């Protein structure tokens, strides 16, 4: 067997992967669509370092992400970490460098993030996140913009069907405050609500004997507060204090604004969403697509984060995982297209070939020049093998031959109208 | 456009109970759930599609959304550490995950064991249980016949599911501690819980109603 046909095993480390042509093209395409969308909404992209001091990245992220960080040492022995998300580096940039700029700031980013977490649904240890942050604006108008932009972005990257579920940490926090349970019981309650474990809620309530009936029924109703905007009305009736009322008031306002954006069809509500309760300070949301069991996008309001790095500033934002968007698109029948050239050009007998190629490329035609000196028949076979739909060869500028699936015909080198037609075929 | 909700059922011990329970809740279920060889079965009323999988695989099918919901033992759900909702505990499949050892084992607290060799099919739960008590157990992960391990000197202790305790007794073993009281649970995929909210809620309520009536 010749050396060309052999390969050597060269394992990759756990958690990383190569993207080949079609996938890379699809990623770049999605990034371009996202950038166009962001920019139309006034967001400006920043580039962030891949690694920073571990202390910076671990600030207030919660133990979960902390345990998932890739850490290593610099030459002075200081601990560095690969960024586990982009929100914290963004908050650092804002808190340390941009805090006195005219507000609000609209920032966007795209890049790799790194986490030691079991690969799930297209997410390896290294995966690509793209996201936006709207900083310096509290309130429902900013929240609605963020969610509406998430909807616009998912549409822009070509996910036909998806749903964004919106919650508010104030609702459950208010409930916990009203219940005033012993800490252990409260954390078990949160855990049960997180798993939507309805039966467990009843058992936990049995342990909290002194609770008034109204509080009991609020807890038991919690798992049912999932669905369209109608759940907000249902939630209103179980509010036990002003924190809960405020959360519902905020969400009502948000729902009106989302209707104004015309995106209400893509939105549902979940008042029993208690994930990342410590991180977020207001609304939270997650986006799901049919068939993909995991969230595509997640975000919310986190007014306390930037204050860790500088003057406190309200902020709302989200990040989507491009790797999962790819999967969601495939599940909905959208396949990444293999990039290929429009024409394979023989250089053999035709001195003006490079100039002709340069002009065709200016018109947007993807032109490959054959470097192997193939004869027309071999050139046609080479084109077929690589998915190129036509070849062009000499003998001279006035007598070019074009061959495609329809057959062969002669053209003159200055028939640019003919060449432009190749673009769309 | 009303697609059936896909439910993953564990092949084996829980199958009949699960199917019987779904039938009582008003769902059309396939007649020979366990006996048949087909792995995907459609309910006659078009509301559920049943996929029959190995019990320990149910949480994976559900986490990935290959099944919208599933029925699994709580032991399997906890061991798998999969990110799924568990809206309902069901009234069957009762058993317990227990530490057991030779019946003639000295009356020694587990905390005072040096580093016991423990045979189990539940490595995560076993590891967590011993580690929490500061004991460095040496896990021997097996896929069947765990009771055999202490008899032939492969392990000092076992962690396994116990229903009546007969198997343990017949093999000269005795229960020492219960790690987890288990029963069947209904689990649901996080995306399906939202994207198929109406159907999932219908199923939860129907099953909860049957439980209330009995």
Q: What would the mean pLDDT of B37-54 be, rounded to a whole number? A: 90
The CATH T-level fold of domain A21-162+289-331 is: BirA Bifunctional Protein; domain 2 (3.30.930)
Contacts of A196 in chain B (CB under 8 A): 85-87, 188, 193
Average confidence (pLDDT) over A392-420: 85
**Residue A241 distance to chain B (closest CA, Å):** 27
Distances (CA, A) of B40 to A60, B25, B51, B55, B75: 46, 21, 5, 15, 25
* Cβ–Cβ below 8 Å for B208 and A198: yes
Mean pLDDT of chain A: 91
pLDDT of residue B214: 74
Backbone torsion region of residue A388, taken as left when φ is above 0, otherwise alpha when ψ lies between -120 and 50, otherwise beta: beta
**Any CB–CB contact under 8 A between A332 and chain B?**
no
User: Which pLDDT belongs to residue B203?
Assistant: 96
Among B5, B58, B64, B65, pick the best mutation site for testing chain A contact (most A Cβ within 10 A).
Answer: B65
Whether A199 sits inside 8 A of B62 (CB atoms) is no
Q: Which alpha helices (H) appear in A273-391, and where do they start and end?
A: 322-331, 353-362, 376-385
Residues 45-74 of B with CB under 8 A from A: 62-66
Would you state the structure tokens that stand for residue A411, as one six-digit string? 């053209």
Length of chain A in terms of residues written: 425
Looking at residue A104, what is its pLDDT? 97
* ipTM (interface predicted TM): 0.84
Task: Judge whether B197 is closer than 8 Å to chain A, CB to CB.
Answer: yes
pTM listed for this prediction: 0.90
- In chain A, % of residues over pLDDT 90: 66
Question: Inter-chain contact B64–A288, Cβ cutoff 8 Å?
Answer: no
A121-171 pLDDT, tens digit per residue, is: 778 899 999 999 999 999 999 999 999 999 999 999 999 899 999 999 999
Fold classification of B5-93+183-213 (topology level) = D-Maltodextrin-Binding Protein; domain 2 (3.40.190)
Residue B92 in contact with partner chain A when CB distance is under 8 A: no
Q: Is B31 on the interface with A (CB under 8 A)?
A: no
Q: Can you give the pLDDT at residue B129?
A: 94
Q: Report yes or no: A175 and A218 within 8 Å, Cβ to Cβ.
A: yes
Is the CB of residue A293 less than 8 Å away from at least one CB of chain B?
Answer: yes
Chain B interface includes A220 (CB < 8 A): no
Average pLDDT, chain B: 91
Nearest CA-CA distance, residue A267 and chain B, Å: 10
CA distance A292 to chain B (A): 6
* Shortest CA gap B147–chain A (Å): 31
Residue A238 Cα, gap to closest chain B Cα (Å): 20
Determine, for residues A292 and B194 on separate chains, whether the beta-carbon distance falls below 8 Å: no
User: How far is Cα A311 from Cα A100, in angstroms, rounded to an integer?
Assistant: 9
Fold annotation for B95-181: D-Maltodextrin-Binding Protein; domain 2 (3.40.190)
Give chain B positions within 8 Å (CB) of A197: 85-87, 89
User: From residue A58, how far is each of A62, A68, A80, A302, B100 by CA, in Å?
Assistant: 8, 10, 11, 16, 42
What residue spans define the domains of chain A?
21-162+289-331, 343-422
Class level of CATH domain A343-422: alpha beta
Contacts of B190 in chain A (CB under 8 A): 288, 293-295
Query: Which residues in B lie closer than 8 A to residue A291 (C-beta atoms)?
Result: 65
- Are A409 and A362 in contact by the 8 Å Cβ rule? The answer is no
Give the minimum alpha-carbon distance from A155 to chain B in angstroms, rounded to a whole number: 17
How many A/B residue pairs have CB atoms within 8 Å?
Answer: 63
Cβ-based burial of B194 (10 A; exposed 0-12, middle 13-18, buried ≥19)? buried
Domains in chain B: boundaries: 5-93+183-213, 95-181
B164-211 pLDDT tens trace: 999 999 999 999 999 999 999 999 999 999 999 999 999 999 999 999
Ordered alpha helix ranges (H), B25-84:
58-63, 74-80
């Amino acid at each position: 067997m010749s050396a060309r046909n052999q390969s050597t095993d060269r394992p990759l480390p756990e958690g990383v992967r190569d993207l080949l042509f079609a996938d890379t093209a699809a990623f770049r395409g999605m990034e371009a669509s996202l950038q166009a969308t962001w920019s139309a909404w006034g967001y400006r992209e920043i580039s962030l370092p891949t690694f920073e001091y571990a202390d910076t990245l671990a600030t207030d992220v919660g133990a979960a992400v902390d345990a998932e960080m890739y850490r290593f040492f610099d030459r002075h022995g200081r601990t560095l970490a690969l960024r586990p998300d982009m929100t914290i580096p963004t908050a650092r940039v804002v808190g340390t460098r941009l805090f006195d700029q005219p507000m609000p700031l609209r920032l966007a980013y795209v890049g790799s993030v790194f986490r030691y977490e079991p690969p799930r649904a297209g997410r390896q240890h290294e995966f690509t996140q793209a996201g936006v942050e709207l900083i310096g604006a509290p309130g429902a108008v900013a929240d609605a913009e963020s969610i509406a932009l998430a909807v616009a972005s998912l549409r822009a990257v070509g996910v036909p069907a998806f749903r964004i579920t919106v919650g508010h940490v104030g609702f459950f926090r208010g409930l916990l405050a009203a219940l005033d349970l012993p800490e252990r019981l409260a954390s078990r309650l949160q855990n049960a609500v997180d798993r939507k474990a309805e039966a467990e809620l009843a058992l936990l309530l049995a342990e909290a004997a002194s609770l008034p009936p109204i509080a009991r029924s609020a807890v038991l109703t919690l798992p049912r507060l999932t669905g369209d905007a109608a759940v907000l009305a249902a939630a209103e009736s179980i509010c036990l204090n002003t924190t809960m009322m405020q959360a519902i008031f905020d969400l009502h306002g948000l729902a009106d604004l989302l209707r104004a954006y015309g995106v209400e069809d893509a939105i549902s509500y979940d008042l029993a969403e208690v994930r990342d309760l410590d991180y977020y300070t207001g609304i939270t949301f997650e986006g799901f697509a049919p068939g993909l069991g995991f969230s595509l996008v997640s975000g919310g309001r986190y007014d306390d984060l930037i204050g860790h790095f500088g003057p406190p500033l309200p902020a709302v934002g989200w990040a989507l995982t491009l790797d999962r968007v790819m999967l969601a698109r495939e599940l909905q029948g959208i396949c990444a297209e293999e990039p290929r050239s429009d024409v394979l050009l023989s250089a053999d007998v035709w001195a003006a070939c490079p100039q002709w190629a340069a002009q065709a490329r200016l018109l947007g035609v993807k032109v490959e020049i054959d470097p192997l000196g193939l004869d027309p028949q071999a050139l046609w076979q080479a084109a077929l093998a690589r998915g190129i739909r036509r070849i062009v060869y000499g003998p001279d500028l006035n007598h070019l031959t074009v061959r495609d699936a329809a057959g062969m015909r002669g053209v003159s080198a200055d028939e640019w109208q003919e060449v432009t037609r190749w673009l769309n075929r | 456009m009303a697609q059936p909700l896909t439910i993953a059922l564990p092949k084996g011990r829980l199958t009949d109970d699960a199917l019987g329970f779904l039938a009582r809740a008003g769902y059309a279920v396939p007649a020979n759930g366990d006996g048949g060889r087909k792995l995907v079965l459609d309910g006659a009323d078009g509301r559920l599609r049943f996929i029959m999988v190995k019990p320990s695989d149910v949480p994976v099918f559900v986490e990935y959304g290959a099944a919208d919901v599933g029925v699994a033992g709580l032991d399997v759900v906890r061991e798998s550490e999969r990110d799924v909702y568990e809206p309902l505990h069901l009234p069957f499949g009762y058993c317990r995950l227990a530490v057991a050892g030779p019946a003639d084992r000295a009356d020694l607290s587990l905390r005072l064991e040096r580093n016991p060799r423990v045979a189990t099919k539940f490595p995560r739960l076993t590891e967590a249980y011993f580690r929490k008590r500061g004991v460095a157990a040496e896990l021997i992960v097996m896929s069947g016949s765990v009771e055999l391990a202490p008899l032939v000197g492969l392990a000092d202790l076992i962690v396994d599911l116990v229903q009546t305790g007969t198997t343990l007794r017949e093999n000269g073993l005795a229960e020492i501690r219960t790690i987890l009281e288990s029963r069947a649970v209904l689990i649901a995929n996080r995306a399906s819980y939202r994207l198929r909210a109406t159907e999932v809620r219908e199923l939860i309520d129907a099953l909860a109603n049957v439980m209330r009536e009995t």
